Structure formats: structure tokens, C-alpha cells
Structure 1
């Protein structure tokens, strides 16, 4: 045998090396395919995370089959639809003013075409329409009369002067009225209309208001009138024993010591299902946990978040996990499978079903008291959690840690203690969706105005959004409530919070016109 020829052992070793390399490459290709399918789903797929209806019964297949008819030739198809209630439209429009236009026959036409006798009104046919009155702008001149005494002018050394009382302006030296300020803030932060588009709309109405003027109004109104209310809301929030938190990115163009492309953050804090509804935003240049610790100074209780480690820096806070985030890992892992394999049984489906079981129990307990919910969770949710924990530990031993399923399993195991703390108190939520829904209006607005120009502008946005979202949570109409604040606060002593406590969003003495009209047709 020549020395250049390989031995059998060498060929065997080479084959083994190549097989190992092929296996590694196959795993890498599979990983890239999974990431491609996941990225494609995130870009083009539905954002909902619902499970297929027929997959909800994988764990109780025996009970489902036992209750089904034996004769496969017979099939019963049922569906449900919302029942229309008579008079539902009238109830929905009952709070609106009604203008009636009556059409009558002229006196000369009220004659029967057959016998030429007089006609009488037999009935009416009524057609209803909704009419929209476009925005109108008018100039309000505040004329303050000044009075003097004629006799003192003739005989006395000094003349007493009296002036008629007049409300203080919301922005001295400007054209801004309470209604105009409220409308501008409402358009930008509730309807997500950027200031440059508001400038164009005002031009079409024949009013020359530049976006710079509007921006100055927004910042002035937020820092002068809304900030004291914001501080009071913050004081009330940290007194609660259940708070939920979230954060999202924000770009601020001109910030000292930072590049324009660096990410800043908008933090959100809100109350739970009990207590006065409060939603607060706070702008910060970073995502460090020190910002959460600073904002929540004085807070003691449960803090629900998405598992971000920064919240661990909040002292005296017991962290609560989010089952929606845990479930999302399994939903995204499912999207990495080939389409033909998604509907069949798999370990990913099993993990998703455990999460679904938790949420099904919570839907059943939605309307019960906190004490009854606490008892029911121990009876129904705890056994599901015990089985899920065993399943996670088994999967941990057989699943690649960087695979989509491995990431889902790792997240659940790492967050297991916060995820299961909802068993401690019936007032706690199983997910952080309440805060995610609250931060969504900011995300929607960010898609329109893209960035903040300065930190002061970002802070103004945070303050205004806080007042608007808190007003909505308390059943108030944001524009009307902002106008009410701009009318009342200039007349009050801002240094004395008790003097304007009746202006807080949950005050029972707020006038009826600032409240969102209740829809009688909604149960």
C-alpha cells in the first residue's frame, strides 16, 4: 500500500467528520429557514395571536370525541350572530340633538284626486340622517370695562378706578383660547395629526397659524397647566399597591451629548384593575433601570412588566410576569414551522396549549370578585401550572437552547417565579396587556410624527398623552376635558392642589359635557 493512500480508519474518520459537518449545516439552514418564516410572518402575517379553534381541544380529545355522535353521516352546523334589537339605532342616537324638518302638502293640493274631498294627515314617514357641522373659527374679543367716579375726578385729589372682573387668559399675549389649545393637543395626541398638517388645515380655513406657533402652544400648555395635574396623578399612582409598566423607543433629534440616531425611551406606568385609572408616560434618554427606580420612588407593592431586568432595580417592588409574553414565544415558534406542520401535533403546540389553558380559566373568572378569583386560581390554575413546569423541565433537556422552542422554554423557566405570582392576589392580572394597550396610542402617533425635536418637546408629549389617556380611562372626552382644564386652571392657585382637586379625571363633580356620552345600546 502506498503511503499517499488513506487507510480505512482515516476514511472512516473523514466520513464521520463530514457527517458531523453536514448535520451542523442542516441545523444552521433549518435555523435560517425558521428565522425567514418568522420574519415573513411579522412583516405580512396577521398580528393576532389566536389559536386555531380545532387546536383548542388537543388536551381534552377524549372528552370531545365521547360527546360526539357516532354516525359520521349526520352533521349539524351551527353558528351565532349578534341579535338585532328593535330600536337599537334610536337608543344609540338618543343623546344627540334633533332638528326636525316637516314637509307638508300646500293647502291647494290637499284635495282627493277621486272625489275632490278634503285630505287629512293620516300618518308620517320619517327618514333619519346624521349631519356633520364642520369646524368653525371666530374671534372672541374680551372687553374689560374700566369705571371711574365723575365727582372724585372734579373734587378729589385721587380718583378711584374699578375694573370689571375678567377671566385670566390661558396664554397671555397670544391668540390661543382654551378651546383652540385643547383642539390642537387633541388633534396631535388623540387623532395623531402632526402639526404641519394642522398648519395646512388652518390655512384652508383662512387662519394663518404656523407649525412653530402651534409647537410653542403645545409645549407651553403642557408645562404650564398640565404638568401640575401630571404630578398629582403620579403621586396617586405610587400610592397604589399594583402598578403595570412598559416602555418603547423614541427618537429625539436635538439632545445635548447625544446623536440624533440614538434611541431614547418613552416609559409607561399605569394602575391595575382596581383604584382610580391612571396612565402616565415619562420620557427618558435611556432604558436603564435607574429611571424606573426614580419614577417609582415611594412605591411598595406588585409591579407587572414584561421580564425586562431593569425593573429589578425598583426597591420594595414584587415583580409579576406576563403570560402574554410567554405565550407569544410559542406563537412565534409555531410560525417558524413549515405551513404543513403547523396544524399537526408538536411540542410547540403542547406549550401553546398550556398557555391557552391559563387564559381560558381567566376568561371564566373575569367577572368574579378578587377573593373568588384567588380561590378559583388555586383550584384550577395551580394544577395546570404544575403540569406545565414538569413539561418545561423535560423539554429543556431535549431542546436546543437557541431554537425557537428552546427560547420559549428558557423564557418560561427563567420567568417562572414572576409568572406564577398572580396566584398570590386575586386582583393581579395574568398578563401585562393593559399597559401594552395603553402604550399603543403613543406608538400609533409615532408613526405619523416620527420623532421629537427636543427633550422639552418629548416631555410635553409625555405629559399631554398622560392626561389624554387617563381621561379616556375615566370615561372622559379628551378634547372637552382639556378645554375644561384650560378654562379652570388659570383661575385657580396651582400651588394649592386642593383648590383644583375637583378638576382631576375621576372627580365626581366634573361637568357632564366633559364625559363621553354613554351608548344605551351597549350592554
Structure 2
């Protein structure tokens, strides 16, 4: 009797396991179809039972593909860019003229062989030209004047006067204000580190190291940035209301 009950239990358990396997297999197939299968807008039978009759009347209940909704877009015309705007910003740039002259052969008249007279020029087109950065050595000189009618009463030498010159940003250094300004712009405006800027300056012909640039930036900040900061601080404190 015990063996018969055990067999019945085994059969029942086997039946339950088969049903569970079938259910899980169906679930796996459904999930694979949802993830990897072709997406369609098909409705199965009885899928709309949860909706009311009014919704079922306006929604197809068969397995046919749901019709795609179309939206009519009103045609429009794209506004062309105004030629005046192009002319305006071209006029704001520095105007550099490039004149192509006639050769001696072209100036010779084909009819009589006499030389023709140039009577004018004609503008053919305008374009933007990029002038690459380049370095030059600026020699700061002062003008000296001498009085032809006077002499120094003490020494008897000529009376001379010399023009004044502005002090260099960094005495005895080739780091000028224009160079340090470009270094600051590249560093804090374009986020270019000093080590990468050395390649840029080497291509221009300036042998400057990252340490040299760092020292120049720090010294410029201490000498000039601190003064600007203090002036801004005074202006803010003098205001009637300080906005956070």
C-alpha cells in the first residue's frame, strides 16, 4: 500500500513539474520574442476584454496589423540668409587688398600693338583670410633731442632730452604682455595645460618651458591680479546692496 501511494505521488509530482516546465518555457519564449523578436502592433483575441464596448468599437479586435497613424505637416519655406548680414560682418574685418596686375603682354593692344593705359580696378570677390600667429622681436627705442643753442652750464655738454618708455612686464625676460596674455587665454579660456602649450610655442619659434609659463602666470597674478581684485572688492563693498 505504501508503494502504491508513493507511485501516485510521484506521478502527480511529475505532472506538476511538466506543467511548470511548460509554463516557464512559454514565459521564456514570450520574453525572447519581446526582446529579440520583430515588434508588431498585433492584438490577440480577447486582449481587449478589459475595455468597455465603446473602446472596442474603435479598436480592431482581430489579428490584423493596426493601421499606422499619419500626420500631415504643412509645407513651409526656409528663409534664405540675407546677403546684407554677410556684407556687414565682412565690413567689420580689416580690409586687405590683393591686386592682380596686368602683365606687359596683356597690356599690349591686339589691334594696334600699342601699350594700353590702366584706367581702374574691379572687385571680383571677397573672402576671409586667416593670418597665422607669428612672433617678432620688438625693439623699444627712445627718441633723443639736442638743443642747438644751449649747453649745460656746469659741464659744458649739450642739453639732451630723451623720451620716456613704459616699463616691461618682466624685466630681462622675453615674456611680454602679449605672450603672457595668450598663455592665460590658452590655459584658462581653452583649458590647454602648460605642457601642451610648449609645443605650440615651439612651432612659433619660442623656446619656453611649462615651468617658465607657470612662474610668469603666478608673478603676473601677484603683481597685477591682486590690484584688480582689491579694486573690485572695494567697489562691491561700496555698493548699497551686495547681491549674493
TM range, normalised to the smaller chain?
0.5 to 0.7
| CA deviations over 1:346-389 (Å, ceiling 9, x no partner) | xxxxxxxxxxxxxxxxxxxxxxxxxxxxxxxxxxxxxxxxxxxx
**Aligned counterparts, 1:346-361, within 5 A:** none
Quick one: higher RCO (CA 8 Å, sep 6+), 1 or 2?
Answer: 1
**Aligned counterparts, 1:88-127, within 5 A:** 88-103=85-100, 105=102, 106-108=106-108, 126-127=124-125
Tell me the secondary structure at the aligned position of residue 91 of structure 2: coil
Task: Quote the offset at 1:110 in angstroms.
Answer: 5.7
Tell me the secondary structure at the aligned position of residue 152 of structure 1: coil
TM-score (normalised: structure 2):
0.53
Distance in 2 separating the partners of 1:129 and 1:192: 31
For 1:138, the equivalent position in structure 2 comes to 136
Distance in 2 separating the partners of 1:84 and 1:208: 46
For 1:199, the equivalent position in structure 2 comes to 198
Task: Quote the offset at 1:91 in angstroms.
Answer: 1.0
| CA deviations over 1:21-46 (Å, ceiling 9, x no partner) | xxxxxxxxxxxxxxxxxxxxxxxxxx
**Aligned counterparts, 1:55-204, within 5 A:** 75-79=72-76, 81-103=78-100, 105=102, 106-108=106-108, 126-143=124-141, 152-153=154-155, 164-204=163-203
Distance in 1 separating the partners of 2:83 and 2:129: 23
For 1:229, the equivalent position in structure 2 comes to 228
Structure 1's 80 and 206: CA in aligned 2 closer, same or farther, altered over 3 A?
Answer: same
Distance in 2 separating the partners of 1:194 and 1:184: 9
Tell me the secondary structure at the aligned position of residue 187 of structure 1: helix
Distance in 1 separating the partners of 2:240 and 2:197: 39
Segments of 5+ residues of structure 1 without an aligned counterpart are 1-71, 112-117, 242-298, 304-523
Structure 1's 136 and 104: CA in aligned 2 closer, same or farther, altered over 3 A?
Answer: closer
Structure 1's 88 and 153: CA in aligned 2 closer, same or farther, altered over 3 A?
Answer: same
Structure 1's 74 and 145: CA in aligned 2 closer, same or farther, altered over 3 A?
Answer: closer
RMSD between superposed Cα atoms in Å: 4.1
Segments of 5+ residues of structure 2 without an aligned counterpart are 1-68
Distance in 2 separating the partners of 1:89 and 1:161: 55
Task: Quote the offset at 1:93 in angstroms.
Answer: 1.0
TM-score (normalised: structure 1):
0.27
Distance in 1 separating the partners of 2:188 and 2:197: 12
Task: Quote the offset at 1:199 in angstroms.
Answer: 1.4
Distance in 2 separating the partners of 1:240 and 1:190: 32
Q: Is the 8 A contact 2:152 2:159 kept in 1?
A: no
Looking at secondary structure, tell me which structure has more helix per residue.
1
Structure 1's 107 and 203: CA in aligned 2 closer, same or farther, altered over 3 A?
Answer: same
For 2:210, the equivalent position in structure 1 comes to 211
| CA deviations over 1:316-354 (Å, ceiling 9, x no partner) | xxxxxxxxxxxxxxxxxxxxxxxxxxxxxxxxxxxxxxx
**Aligned counterparts, 1:9-408, within 5 A:** 75-79=72-76, 81-103=78-100, 105=102, 106-108=106-108, 126-143=124-141, 152-153=154-155, 164-237=163-236, 239=239, 241=241, 299=242, 303=244
Structure 1's 204 and 127: CA in aligned 2 closer, same or farther, altered over 3 A?
Answer: same
Distance in 2 separating the partners of 1:80 and 1:221: 55
Distance in 1 separating the partners of 2:135 and 2:216: 18
Distance in 1 separating the partners of 2:155 and 2:83: 74
Distance in 2 separating the partners of 1:167 and 1:74: 71
Task: Quote the offset at 1:135 in angstroms.
Answer: 1.5
Structure 1's 169 and 102: CA in aligned 2 closer, same or farther, altered over 3 A?
Answer: closer
Q: Is the 8 A contact 2:135 2:205 kept in 1?
A: no
Task: Quote the offset at 1:94 in angstroms.
Answer: 0.8
Larger radius of gyration: 2
Distance in 2 separating the partners of 1:95 and 1:201: 29
